[in-house]
Structure 1
Amino acid sequence: MLPSQAYANISFFQPPAFLMVGMPGMESIHGWISIPFSFLYTVALTGNYLIILAVRKTPRLHQPMYYFLSMLALNDMGLTLSTLPTTLAVLWFDHRLISFNACLIQMFFLHFFSVVESSVLLAMSFDRFVAISNPLRYPAVLTNNVIIRIGLVIVARAIVSLFPVPFLLKRLNFCPNKTLLSHSFCFHADVMKRACADITVNIIYGLYAVLSTVGVDSLLIVLSYTLILHTVMGLASPQERLRALNTCVSHILAVLVFYIPVIGVSMIHRFGRHLPHIVHALVAYVYLVIPPVLNPIIYSIKSKPIREAMMRVLKRKDQG
């Protein structure tokens, strides 16, 4: 019996495991490739942890702007940890198998942290708008209770938006001969393409989840900065305008660092099927690894209070 005939006789199949890849075509130098990846993961985890510690240990940073920054740092640690185990397992030990259910769990958390990142960046843009447009009411508007509620809404929104995704994949019939993934982690778009079934519902819901979260957030961030620029242009002196805009530079850079790779990943998945596999892999790694690495660097360079607080934390550790 031919393999295709054998597969046709299987009414429903879900693979016990998927096979992941690291850098396609570069398997012989995975050991060397693991060095920069290990460095990037270390920088991401250390930098974001230091930001959280600096805000926690410095009373004068107990302000809405820095609370949101702590949320961003905590989320970046989660995003880093969602891909670190499988990526380094592939690069270090050539351990390429991931069970079907483990793949769905990793996929959920990977997309969960991406949606939360987008929402936190939106909350930070709202924080900058209130601080610049109505500085006198700023402490009254963004109280600790309001910030906690915003954080809870962000988490709840991500869970509700993404909760159906694993179950929509669980209902699919997969191809026994299509268990090779395109990355060293589980992407929704990558996993659903391994199915031998109609994935129209998955495509539509995936598009809805992206547009209703990251898509809406990006539009609201643009709206926030349009209003911020309108307010800044109304300020009397150029010095006041420059001072107000300078408080937004770190956030603008963080937005660009997140959304440019998001757009790149979307474009590659939609229109880049003819491109080499290595291009797909590199764009995905940039999307998932680079923002958690760059955000602490951006804020430590552009924000003097954060930089000073991080230095104090490091000095205390050295003295301890």
Structure 2
Amino acid sequence: MILVVGGAGYIGSHLVKELVEKEKVIVLDNLSTGHREAVDSRAIFVEGDLGDEEDLQMIFSSYPIKAVMHFAAFSLVGESVIDPLKYYQNNVASTITLLNVMMRNNVKNFIFSSTAATYGIPNVDVIDEKTVTAPINPYGHSKLMIEQILGDFSKAYGLHYVVLRYFNAAGAHESAKIGESHDPETHLIPIILQQLLGQRDQISVFGTDYDTADGTCIRDYIHVTDLASAHILALESLLNEEKSAEVYNLGNGLGYSVKEVIETCEKVTGVEANVVMADRRAGDPARLVASSEKIFTELGWKAERNLEQIIADAWKWHQKQQY
């Protein structure tokens, strides 16, 4: 059985929907940002907290857990700057509690959902796993701290782990039964689609004078279902003892500017956006694009869905808005 912490959240719920086809799954989520309705009915659901040692021990004592997949971090960059304690408590301290219970119960396989925020503002056009990690906010720091802790646990206690650093997760399940629902919403594609549905007055484009072809920031968008498939391949590599300590980037290797994303949303939906130009935001690099060559070479994974497919699936979900 696989324990998925944070399995009611956006990325976690999509992983669970794919994973239940292959494994028995138990989800632990405190529903602070996740949605009970998003958890596949074939998974066992436990409402509880990542940092609650009693909750965790109950699960490990009751079920034959063979691996843990971690999606339970707080992830708002701006909030992490305002309230770093919240991020270090949940993302770092609570994860240590989880790892402690895992070691006590001799569970040695761990998949960690990390982030491109560990790289900070890199000075390269395409980011690979050898790019220097230099996070610039508490969120990025908290994720990198866990990566470093996993390395230490691997050497000292024999923990087997895979870290997956991804860039801009987007889209929704092709069934439109689950999708991206945050409060507040901070991600570009859902913000655009909400405006096109009349749920927002306008879309703000922060900065039009970057050193890019059209002056707006370029980002690497990846379909959430492609992310789920990468996690499953990583899990299989651990369970088959092919990998023991790896870090992989997940992206499509292509960058799309803010203007290109807006134009693609307009093309897919047939609705014209109301766009307002605004000043740059502090800390926004001009370009963040991932190389996923390592995971393709070692595990055979690559992103299958392009930007238009990402937006088409997201649009179907936003039109239904089931939760």
**TM-score, length of structure 1 as denominator length:** 0.25
Larger proportion of strand:
2
- Structure with higher RCO (Cα < 8 A, 6+ apart): 1
